[in-house]
Structure 1
Amino acid sequence: MTRRRLLLAVLTVAAIAGAWLIRRGSSAPPEVAFAAAKRETLVSTLTTNGKAEPYEFVIVRAQREGRLERLAASKGQQVRPGDLLAQLDQGEARAELAAAEARLKQARAAVEVLERGGREAELAEVEAALLRARLEMKAAERDYESLRRLVDKQAAAPHEMQVAADRLDRARADIRGLEKKRAALVSVGDRQAAGARLEEALAAREQAARRLEQCRIRTPLGGVVYDLPLRAGELVRTGDLVAAVGKLNPMRVRVYVDEPELGRLAPGMPVVITWDALPGRRWQGRIEQMPLQVKALGTRQVGEVVLTIENPGLDLLPGANVNAEVRTRVVSDGIIIPKEAVRRQSDQTGVYLLGRGDRLVWRAVELGASSLTRVQVLTGLGEGDRVALAFDRPLRDGLRVRPRFE
């Protein structure tokens, strides 16, 4: 019984002591970290992301369907304008060109025949008849002249001269008829039709030549082949991407800036570009073009800011997702505090100062430029004022604290 009473007394004392310690601990001032407001230079930056692309580039696509016979360039190769990148199978195109050239030859031959007056055999027959008729006309003219002189001398009868005149008239009529027949061998319509067939054959030949040339896929731009997705033997369809060629020095970077931050930007602001694939590398540029519109980028509403950077080693690759830091403002000799010290209370921006007796004092402030971790205070603080940093529990005006200075 005595042991039980003793144990009960010990437990009672321990409980009282624990309660006293808990009460004492809960009533002790919390330890809060403080930082001093300092006069210093602040570089206000805006950090975001972007994408790199060639300053000038061309996407080369297939202009006809066919099987890829061979690649004439490789990824990363430097090429000049007009260089061959790839070649499609040319068998069908060569056959088309040969057929077109044969049709063109036939059309030219038909025009030449018409230009000479018609088909060779018919033309030769008419020409021979004309030759005979002209000889006959000359003979009739001689006979007529002879008889006319004889009639004048009364050495021949007038009716003989009339017979000779009739013979001359018939010869002349025969010549006129043969000349009309020769002209009838080639009509205006025949010439027009033959000319049209020749033009059609010329156009078909040019088209076949173009289709053959389309089998040879060339680059219109000099630069580096930075994309070449196809392999020999693949079937290529019209419009398929064959290669991408671009000038990789300089490079263009499109920086995506969230809509609320666009008002902080201006042309000429310096930008630092980094790429996670090459830690430690930095590329410098300045804003050249402000956004022309706001558009959706995933869940964000962004404007595109464009800048140009030098890339002499061609290390930054097209399509790279890059980090961008825009220097929006530089503040010299400003009152600067850590961003984590700034709080919102009753629609008011302010900080908690360390006051007399280690008690917190709420102070409304007006903020200026900011960086990722620090912010300028325009009004409300002076140099040396100590402001409370982030704390894991809510703070209040008048709260007594144990300050820890950083």
Structure 2
Amino acid sequence: MSIAFRTDIAQERRLITAIPGPKSVALHARRTAAVAAGVASTVPVYTADAGGGVIVDIDGNSLIDLGSGIAVTSVGNSAPRVVDAVREAVEHFTHTCFMVTPYESYVAVAEKLNALTPGRHSKRTALFNSGSEAVENAVKIARLATKRTAVVAFDHAYHGRTNLTMALTAKAMPYKKGFGPFAGEIYRMPMSYPFRDVEGMSGKDAAARAISMIEKQIGAEDVAAVLIEPIQGEGGFIVPADGFLPALSEWCTRNGVVFIADEIQSGFCRTGSWFASDHEGIVPDLITTAKGIAGGLPLAAVTGRAEIMDAVHPGGLGGTYGGNPIACAAALAAIATMEELDLNAAARRIEEAIVPRMRALAADTGRIGDVRGRGGMIALEFTVGGSTEPDAAAAAAVAKACHAQGVIILTCGTYGNVVRLLPPLVIGEELLSEGLTVLEAAVRAL
């Protein structure tokens, strides 16, 4: 049986200096002189140790982690089973390149993904390094398999930072501004955004709106793929209205279009199911994964229907480090931890702990327009005076106040007005509750 986290790291919030402390301030001066200015950080502390639901900085402060490295460390930053698997793998070999001399752990990860992802059809998997790589390769595969070129993405989408994935991403600043020109044959359609859609618009109505635009602006016969996050991540944890995703999926099936679910942020128990697609019973043709897959090591995948994946000629997919053996060992251990600790149930318990408190806070303060999400993927959208007008300043102020009190939270959203909560799925109930208390105080202090 796996244990939830290392026992040598106290699961507590502990502040012994201001945030940031003097050692972090000194290291930040070194960083400024050495690291490119375009690489930003959310919290101005430098990590010395981490595990379970806390991050310990180099000044000895222990911060409650409600960010999980952007949904990566769902099993914690140093899950014992992952650490042991990595240590054992390193002792054998760090690299051979699967495209040169392959190894069993890559095959085992592919087998596991084929079994866990939605649908019981025959599947194949290819492994890569990052979410952006996975998305880019999914588009390559769809275009080759269909002999078509157009790709449909959606408002508020985030798919990565490579040239193609920047084109697929909706938000200009900071992801796209000044980096163009971008890859072509990308078309953006309206997303189902219940908080901001016309009142009474159903998921089926929102899908019909998008489908009509696709057919008029592109033509179904020219669309290679529809790419969508079942719950949008960077765009604001937008959960589409019921019926939206199934209607899109059904349209794709009728028209020979590859339906790609980007589950990079929402996958691996994050929403209380193995994948967010499970909540609406959709079965993507291709699914992209990364982030939570390997307990913090870089690994990503495209998994999909065998006939689509195998349409690519030998040598058409790969990469020097794709499916690195250390990352594969970590992934197998992370998935085993998720299974043994039932982190799907843990995510549902986290939702039950967060949502009622945040909805009560919203009703009491009038500063939060919407509380939404699933499992351990919950968002607070800050608005002005109970309207739908975005209040990015409020979200930023709340985040800053939480950071100063030793609670790591992240912001997101097209309008910069969303606070997202992504605690490690192994976080203790008392620690989570304390983090929420700090968050509530920050909102009340606005």
Please give the TM-score of this superposition, normalised by the length of structure 1.
0.17
Higher strand share: 1
Q: Which has the higher contact order (CA 8 A, sep 6+)?
A: 1
Question: Greater CA radius of gyration, 1 or 2?
Answer: 1
Please give the TM-score of this superposition, normalised by the length of structure 2.
0.16
